[in-house]
Amino acid sequence: MRYVGIDIAKKDHQIAAVDEFGNVILKSFSAGNNESGFAKIAEKLEAARIESDECLVGMEATGHYWISLWEFLDANGYEVVVINPIQTDAFRKVDSLRKTKTDAIDSVLIAEYLRFANPESSKMANPDVEQLRELARFRSFLVEQATQLKNKAIRVLDQAFPEYGKLFSNTFGEASKALLKQCPTPEEVLATDIRTLTRILKENSGGNCGRAKAEAVKDAARSSIGAKFGARALSFEIKLLVKRLSFTQVQIEELEDEISELLHRSDGHWLTTIPGIGDSLAASIAGEIGDPDRFETPKKLIAYAGMDASKYQSGANQDTNGHMSKRGSSELRRALMLAADKVRIYDPYFGEYYDSMKARGKHHYVALSGVARKLAGVCLSLMREQRPYESEPPEHHLPGHLQRQA
């Protein structure tokens, strides 16, 4: 058996190989992250008499730079293992007290890791699931951008028109945004005819806002303590921020339509049968899980998400502090925690578990983490078994927190 280690980089990969005894049979060499570089790798492996059916190739999951090379090697019949960098870091500490790290040494170290661990080859998930993960992550990025734009707009608005925040239940509702695009400062509001203000509000609120709201805005502008110094710059900034926010929100809506279509072509659509989980959360969870068969047990998925408890062990002493290790997929962990906060409200199974932990004096976040771990196992089962969620509470049953709401 031959073991090929590849240290992944943006421009040039480093490749080396060892035999079953740990002897270096292919010294470390560099190959570009491009078509000619991939061809060079294939030529070098062939020259070293390393056949695809008698070798295992390993590479770290470094950003997205490994994906193209993985596809090339897989298409040429090589068994490829994608390794979590945490595993190779741990192996490096065992392999060398000096903790030496160079690209050339790392490629040999990855090959050595394969020789000792002999892991199973990695498989790409269903293409729809891979696309789902990419779009779900992009949605998170856009949502974060929208939040940043809102926070920035509020900070500037507090200088220019501090009373404005009390005029609308949602500062960034359609009617309010339309008004801010036209006259975001008290001076501009006072300079605008009441009929124009009424028209703007009515057209962008579906008729819910009209003359009364326009007069309230006028009254607030008359008594405003907003800064007049630099008001023109503040006005210009608010208008651009709100326009950019509107554009970002439209992109999020378009993205969510695409995500929903992909979701319902994948095994991830079963997650929407869990009360409280909609398309966006289901897409995030399913996309990060990928192929459910790569996790033998829920514990392995929980560890992959970094939601397992961190441990310290020295000799006979072992301590578990109960805190999440957070050594795993932050995207999956975030999605599961958000989903846990929803399902505890809408489903008795999760709601009662949350309430039981709170009754034992656990902090909200600790109780929510427990729900998220249970939810991870449920999600894995639904995707693997391709079935809807089933909850069987007693007839007319309501968990404690819903009884209080009722």
Tens-digit pLDDT profile for residues 187-220: 999 999 999 999 999 999 999 999 999 999 999 9
191 and 75 assigned to the same domain: no
pLDDT for the residue 82: 85
- Beta strand 24-32 with 12-18 is antiparallel
pLDDT for the residue 392: 64
Averaged pLDDT, 240-261: 96
pLDDT for the residue 83: 83
- Reading the block at residue 261, the tokens are 């279509």
| Residue 123 included in any domain | no
| Residue 125 included in any domain | no
- Model confidence at 124, pLDDT cuts 50, 70, 90, reads low
| Residue 385 included in any domain | yes
pLDDT for 291 beyond 60: yes
Sign of CA dihedral 42, 47, 53, 55: negative
160 and 98 assigned to the same domain: no
pLDDT for the residue 100: 53
Examine the fold and report which residue of 240, 261, 282 is the final residue of a domain before the chain moves on. Answer: 261
Q: Check: CB of residue 131 under 8 Å from CB of residue 263.
A: no
| Residue 257 included in any domain | yes
pLDDT for the residue 64: 79
Residue 165: domain span: 131-261
pLDDT for 118 beyond 60: yes
103 and 227 assigned to the same domain: no
- Model confidence at 137, pLDDT cuts 50, 70, 90, reads very high
**Whole-angstrom Cα distance, residue 400 to residue 404?**
6
pLDDT for the residue 91: 72
199 and 230 assigned to the same domain: yes
- How many percent of the chain have pLDDT more than 90? 67
Spatial CB neighbours of 300, under 8 Å, sequence gap ≥ 6 = none
pLDDT for the residue 120: 76
| Residue 145 included in any domain | yes
Sheet of 24-32, strand order = 24-32, 12-18, 2-7, 55-60, 79-83
Number of domains in the chain: 3
| Residue 126 included in any domain | no
pLDDT for 399 beyond 50: no
24 and 139 assigned to the same domain: no
277 and 377 assigned to the same domain: yes
pLDDT for the residue 94: 61
pLDDT for the residue 222: 96
Phi, then psi, of 82 in degrees rounded to 5: -95, 120
Question: Any idea which of 99-113, 232-246, 296-310, 376-390 has the lowest mean pLDDT?
Answer: 99-113
pLDDT for the residue 62: 73
Terminus-to-terminus CA distance in the chain, angstroms?
65
- Model confidence at 369, pLDDT cuts 50, 70, 90, reads very high
pLDDT for the residue 122: 67
Averaged pLDDT, 132-143: 94
Examine the fold and report which residue of 201, 234, 261 is the final residue of a domain before the chain moves on. Answer: 261
Averaged pLDDT, 113-137: 81
Q: Check: CB of residue 286 under 8 Å from CB of residue 267.
A: yes
What's the Rg (C-alpha) of the chain?
A: 28
82 and 172 assigned to the same domain: no
| Residue 53 included in any domain | yes
Question: Any idea which of 89-103, 296-310, 381-395 has the lowest mean pLDDT?
Answer: 89-103
278 and 389 assigned to the same domain: yes
Record the pTM.
0.74
pLDDT for the residue 321: 47
| Residue 122 included in any domain | no
pLDDT for the residue 406: 46
Query: Nearest-5° angle of CA 43, CA 44, CA 49?
Result: 95
274 and 397 assigned to the same domain: yes
pLDDT for 332 beyond 70: yes
Examine the fold and report which residue of 64, 90, 117 is the final residue of a domain before the chain moves on. Answer: 117
- Model confidence at 401, pLDDT cuts 50, 70, 90, reads very low
Question: Any idea which of 216-220, 262-266, 316-320, 342-346 has the lowest mean pLDDT?
Answer: 316-320
Q: Check: CB of residue 337 under 8 Å from CB of residue 369.
A: yes
CB neighbours of residue 150 within 10 Å = 16
222 and 283 assigned to the same domain: no
pLDDT for 385 beyond 50: yes
Average pLDDT score over the chain: 87
Q: Of residues 41 and 60, which shows the higher confidence score?
A: 41
Question: Any idea which of 72-81, 114-123, 248-257, 270-279 has the lowest mean pLDDT?
Answer: 114-123
